[in-house]
Amino acid sequence: MTKRPFTGKGYRAKEPLKLIHSDLCGPMNVKARGSFEYFISFIDDYSRYGYLYLMEHKSEALEKFKEYKAEVENLLSKKIKILRSDRGGEYMDLRFQDYMIEHGIQSQLSAPGTPQQNGVSERRNRTLLDMVHSMMSYAQLPSSFWGYAVETAVHILNNVPSKSVSKIPFELWRGRKPSLSHFRIWGCPAHVLVTNPKKLEPRSRLCQFVGYPKETRGGLFFDPQENRVFVSTNATFLEEDHMRNHKPRSKLVLSEATDESTRVVDEVGPSSRVDETTTSGQSHPSQSLRMPRRSGRVVSQPNRYLGLTETQVVIPDDGVEDPLSYKQAMNDVDKDQWVKAMDLEMESMYFNSVWELVDLPEGVKPIGCKWIYKRKRDSAGKVQTFKARLVAKGYTQREGVDYEETFSPVAMLKSIRILLSIATFYDYEIWQMDVKTAFLNGNLEESIFMSQPEGFITQGQEQKVCKLNRSIYGLKQASRSWNIRFDTAIKSYGFDQNVDEPCVYKKINKGKVAFLVLYVDDILLIGNDVGYLTDVKAWLAAQFQMKDLGEAQYVLGIQIIRDRKNKTLALSQATYIDKMLVRYLMQNSKKDLLPFKHGFHLSEEQCPKTP
């Protein structure tokens, strides 16, 4: 006989405090500062917002639940309805059960040997321990600081998105979005201001950041000289130095102890977690807990590469190619997606009144049309959207009859690079927009007749053709017609065209600057005032069908990596490089930092010289 399978998802609460998940973890094989060996967690099912309390003994579970109940019920003005837990002795205790009955709280206990019925708490404790292991491995702190690490881990989980809920847990719990500006790397060194120093003493002391205090703003810092933890709001964090000079320590061995023989005494041994007493000369025996040290050498690239030395994307090798015809699209594995994409394209045609059905004049031969299909991928190579474009067979047009001029300018890449450099230096906003079916906005001066698109031939009017009122993709003059239309519109709004770069426009008003860069249907907006740029976006949306892409991240197949704090910006074509490597079967070739012969040294003597 075997266990029955665990099927389905459990009940989800519709409001805060309707269902609370709880579990106790411990005893740990290492005592935390303050002699803590256990921690108990309470997780709200609706928001997945969690509370965690450190404990010296399991018997403190009831007191911690009372503390949790008083705080959350006062905060939300609601009552706890259900408490779900395992069948641990701390929850089965008569005092605990009597307290639940007294306050009308329903107790839900998991069946014996079925921890998955309390899966939310079990998974949360596992996640917390994994985070603690990672945080401790990056910090040069004794293992007894796991208490501060696990409290910080809970704080992080409450303020970042979760797959289990639609919004951030903090937002569902408190009704407002959290601020992440105070987040720092746990365990990083920091210079903390010394209060009332003597005349010749330093004004700051090097400490380590170990968490966020509950009662006040600021941070918790550990002073290794005095072996105490204190609160301060005046600190300069050395996060970059911490990551650059980091030498990984041996893996932290932190787990629930099975018996007393596996316990490890507290390395630092203070009686309280935030200790204001001064002690000196204490060593940290935690070194004996660590495994033999391995080499701490970390291979890292120079800062100028901004982390781009290794390709950061993987092109999925799904073996699926884009259809080349309407017939192939109807037989494709993504047929339904292509049908939706074609319907969307036709809706745009009808919305813009691109054509009207007429009888074909005598002596006129209509041009054909076809469908072009494309899977649009993001910077990671994953399919984002399915695009179907109806294009005219412009190669059948005759010069002087169906079209006159075809030239249309686009912004040069060097112009885009220059403007991005200016925006980076002055910390301007860089936004991106896309014009939906841009070429359909162009007006035609010639009379052009086109066959009805395949798959969308009007029943009862099969003999008729489309007389184009507007430009369409594939026509010789399509790009030029669209550019003329956009140029006229944007100048009417007060933008001035650059003399040497016709696709770069500028508008200045009382110190507010806005640059607009046009590359066919891709638009970059660069400026120093958010409100000013917002007005420009609103005006563009009123003139054309626009798609707001937010901050520019992926332009013309080039990824933009920006660090506004350090005023740096990098352009990466990693996706294109990987695509070319796959195309020519070189994806497994040895990579290097630069496309440069190894061992070849450059010198100033090799630079060009003016005679």
> How does pLDDT run across 255-288, given as a tens digit for each residue?
666 554 445 444 444 444 554 433 333 334 333 3
- Work out the angle at residue 458's Cα, subtended by the Cα atoms of residues 452 and 464, and round it to the nearest 5 degrees: 55
Cα distance between residue 351 and residue 345, in whole Å: 10
| Phi, psi angles (nearest 5°) of residue 489 | -65, -45
Cα distance between residue 114 and residue 135, in whole Å: 31
Percent of the chain with pLDDT over 90: 33
Tell me the mean pLDDT in the region 417-440: 87
> What pLDDT band is residue 9 in, cutting at 50, 70 and 90?
low
**SS3 label, residue 485:** helix
Dihedral sign of CA atoms 469, 473, 475, 476 in order = positive
Q: Return mean pLDDT, the chain.
A: 82
Type of residue at 607: C
Cα distance between residue 206 and residue 188, in whole Å: 10
Paired sense of beta strands 19-25 and 82-85, if any: parallel
Q: 8: burial class by Cβ within 10 Å (0-12, 13-18, 19+)?
A: exposed
Query: Tokens in use for 120?
Result: 């939310």
Tell me the mean pLDDT in the region 54-80: 94
More reliable by pLDDT, 433 or 471: 433
Tens-digit pLDDT profile for residues 368-386: 888 889 888 776 667 888 8
Residue-by-residue DSSP string for 403-425: BS--------HHHHHHHHHHHHH
How many CB atoms sit inside 10 A of residue 362's CB? 5
For residues 227 and 280, the answer to whether their CB atoms sit within 8 Å is yes
Cα Rg for the chain, rounded, in angstroms? 33
- The pLDDT of residue 47 is above 90: yes
Q: What is the largest CA-CA distance in the chain?
A: 104
- The pLDDT of residue 400 is above 70: no
**SS3 label, residue 63:** helix
Task: State yes or no: cis peptide before 142, omega within 30 of 0.
Answer: no
Tell me the mean pLDDT in the region 557-579: 86
pLDDT of residue 385: 85
Query: Tokens in use for 391?
Result: 């294009």
- Work out the angle at residue 118's Cα, subtended by the Cα atoms of residues 112 and 120, and round it to the nearest 5 degrees: 160
Q: In the chain, which residues fall in CATH 3.30.420.10?
A: 19-174
H-helix or E-strand containing 387? Answer: strand 383-392
Q: Which residue has the tokens 């105490």?
A: 228
Q: Which residue has the tokens 């408490």?
A: 83
What is the distance, to the nearest Å, from the Cα of residue 302 to the centroid of all Cα atoms in its chain?
Answer: 24
Tell me the mean pLDDT in the region 230-235: 91
Q: Which of 316, 314, 438, 441 is nearest to 375 (CA)?
A: 316
| Phi, psi angles (nearest 5°) of residue 414 | -65, -30
DSSP state at residue 286? G
Tens-digit pLDDT profile for residues 509-553: 888 999 999 988 888 999 999 999 999 999 998 888 888 888 888
- Model's pTM, two decimal places? 0.46
Q: Domain spanning 19-174 has what CATH number?
A: 3.30.420.10
| Phi, psi angles (nearest 5°) of residue 394 | -65, -15
pLDDT of residue 376: 82
